[in-house]
Chain A
Amino acid sequence: MEQQTFPGTLDALEPLREYVKEAARSAGLDQRAIYKLCLAVDEIATNVVCHGYEEAGLNGDLKIEASIKDDSLVIQLEDRAKPYDPNLHDVPNTDDLLQPLDEREIGGLGILLAQDGVDDLQYTATNEGNVHRFIIHLPQNDTNR
């Protein structure tokens, strides 16, 4: 799919999800996989906007591009925000998930859902910002998942 560029604001979240939905449908993912992938991209994009741009006092875009590579659907999200590797962030562990809601920490939930929603969440820091790649392995010889 053609790359699209959106402003790095929370208003971009909905069109980003629509882009991902279209790419995922074209790749033959089922509804559940589509939702989880949309959620993964949404969570990372939200973090980029809130922490990478707004809190860092920066402005920039979000560029998204979907492609099929080596039997995988790859969604690539690029920004010019403050560098941050989501895979280095603490996420709730099994014990944390068992805590009563009034004792839960609010951090890490988005990244937990992002990692859970894809087969691989890859991160690269560039001179300009961040590149996140969301990878879903497609069954070989069968695009339905």
Chain B
Amino acid sequence: MPLQMSSSVEGKTARVVLEGELDGSSSTSVRDAVDKALQDHPDRLVLMVEKLNFMASAGLRILIFAKQKQPGLKVYLVKPQETIVDTLKKTGFYQGVYVVETEEETKG
């Protein structure tokens, strides 16, 4: 399933919705969207990934990109699927992001 994405910035929160499959063919557009969202220096990047069915290492590199561009940025993944949580844990990324069940939890 091709990747569908939308992004917005509201106050100090950048929000990116990802649905479908994130692989090497779609990662550039996601990275560009994240880059654009970070131009306003938000405090947090909220990734809505409940309907993201697949994430290759290209997705992990986008997380590195975001954190290296803005080291103090809080990155939230809202309701990732279990397989993506497995990937985050296997690669040590789980400790570097906030995995939450609801968008409400990103507003702390």
Contacts and interface: CB of A to CB of B under 8 A. Distances in A.
A13 B23 contact: yes
A68 interface: no
Given A106-B64, A110-B57, A50 B90 contact: no
Interface residues of B, number: 29
B92 A98 contact: yes
A113 interface: yes
A51 to B, nearest CB: 11
Contact of A13 (B24, B68, B92): B24
Contacts of B63: 101
Contacts of B68: 101-102
A106 B67 CA distance: 12
Contacts of A14: 1-2, 21, 23, 25
A104 B64 CA distance: 7
Interface residues of A, number: 31
Contacts of A13: 23-25
28 contacts: A10-B23, A10-B24, A13-B24, A17-B21, A32-B83, A32-B86, A36-B83, A39-B54, A39-B56, A39-B87, A42-B24, A46-B23, A46-B24, A46-B58, A92-B92, A98-B92, A100-B67, A100-B96, A101-B64, A101-B93, A102-B71, A104-B64, A106-B64, A109-B60, A109-B61, A113-B56, A113-B87, A113-B90
Interface of A: 10-11, 13-14, 17, 31-32, 35-36, 38-39, 42-43, 46, 49-50, 92, 96-102, 104, 106, 109-110, 112-113, 116
